[in-house]
Amino acid sequence: MILVVVSFLGTAGYIFAQSNEVAERRAVLEQELTALETEIDKQRALLDDLRGRSVSLERDVGILNASIKQSQLSIRARDIAIANLTRDIGGKAKTIGELSEKIERAKLSLSQLVRKTVRFQSDSLPELLLGDGRLANLFTEMSSFASIEQSLSETISSVRTVKKDVETEKQELEGRRAEETDLRVAQERDKKRLEEQEAEKSRILKLSKGIEANYQSVISSKEYSAAKIRSELFILRDSAAIPFEKALALAQDAQARTGVRAAFLLGIIAEESNLGENVGKGNWRVDMKAPRDTVPFLDITRRLGLDPDQILGGLCECKKESVCVLR
């Protein structure tokens, strides 16, 4: 009788000590969970702010890219305009060259005509008569020379006027081409500035995305830790030990029915499960004997469509005190 009482007292002390440990463990976990959740909220706020900045940067990069494309199109259009002006200037230069040649030919013809006229005027009448023999032809030729000379002079004057007009047009085209070239240089400079801005913002955006990934990694890690703490708190909350008085009554009832001493039964229950408090806290990879226990367990979870590593302690979540269909 004394041994039974001593055993009861020892078991009761052990149970009460275990209950205090559970309460202390729960308090520590709840404190850690609160700290983790606070840190997660801070990290999420920072991540949201960073994502907002990234969106702004992406918008800026998009605007800069559109501006760069617009500059490229404007530069291309200006290149075409410069090419057209260069072609027109070349055409004017060719026309000027042709007109210059025409003037030179007319000058040559006029000089030849002048020399003939001078020769006729320098010859004496007897020489002219002896040279041709017909005085009427002499006067006809002299009249013809005068007419041709006048026509050539008019042609030269007209061609010179046209040439001057073409030269003026050519100069105007060259002026326009110079303006277009200056504008193109300015546009090229602006495009380069936009490209530098775009490159800088893209670099910052890339860094921002990298920082976002780091924040997300930290948050995921903390969320994983918080989930583990919640899981452990869930186990501690839902698997509390039965009261010692109830355990003693059950042990005494079992002793009356089987003859097995109540102290012995209480000792086993306290050692194996802390009166039911530790039910569901084991791990099948550690607690089960392989392959005797693990193979049937994995077969059952497979047929039930359950993940064995997500089952608390390798047991189902029925939470019917110390009973489980998978045990």
The tens digit of pLDDT for each residue in 203-243 reads 888 888 888 888 888 888 888 887 777 766 655 554 556 66
Identify whether 301 is part of a domain: no
| Mean pLDDT, range 147-158, rounded to an integer | 76
Question: HSE of 54 in the Cβ direction (CA atoms, 13 Å)?
Answer: 15
Identify whether 10 is part of a domain: no
Q: Does residue 311 carry a pLDDT above 70? A: no
**Higher pLDDT, residue 4 or 258:** 258
Q: Which among 3, 18, 11 is positioned nearest to 247, based on CA atoms?
A: 11
Paired tokens of 76:
């291309």
Identify whether 17 is part of a domain: no
Asked if 325 and 296 touch (Cβ cutoff 8 Å), the reply is: no
pLDDT band at 19 (very low <50, low <70, confident <90, very high): low
Paired tokens of 325:
């269909």
Identify whether 91 is part of a domain: yes
- Give pLDDT tens digits for 289-310: 888 988 988 988 888 777 787 6
Domain extent at residue 120: 45-219
Residue 178 amino acid letter? A
pLDDT band at 320 (very low <50, low <70, confident <90, very high): very low
Identify whether 49 is part of a domain: yes
pLDDT band at 141 (very low <50, low <70, confident <90, very high): low
Identify whether 23 is part of a domain: no
Identify whether 320 is part of a domain: no
| CATH number of the domain bearing residue 147 | 1.10.287.620
pLDDT band at 117 (very low <50, low <70, confident <90, very high): low
Paired tokens of 94:
């060719």
Long-range contacts of 98-101 (CB under 8 A, 24+ apart): 99/159, 99/162, 99/163, 99/166, 100/163
157, 241, 287, 290 from 302: Cα distances, Å: 109, 31, 19, 17
Number of residues in the chain? 327
Backbone angles phi, psi at 323, to 5 degrees: -110, 140
Identify whether 116 is part of a domain: yes
Stretch among 32-36, 131-135, 161-165 having the lowest mean pLDDT: 131-135
Number of domains in the chain: 1
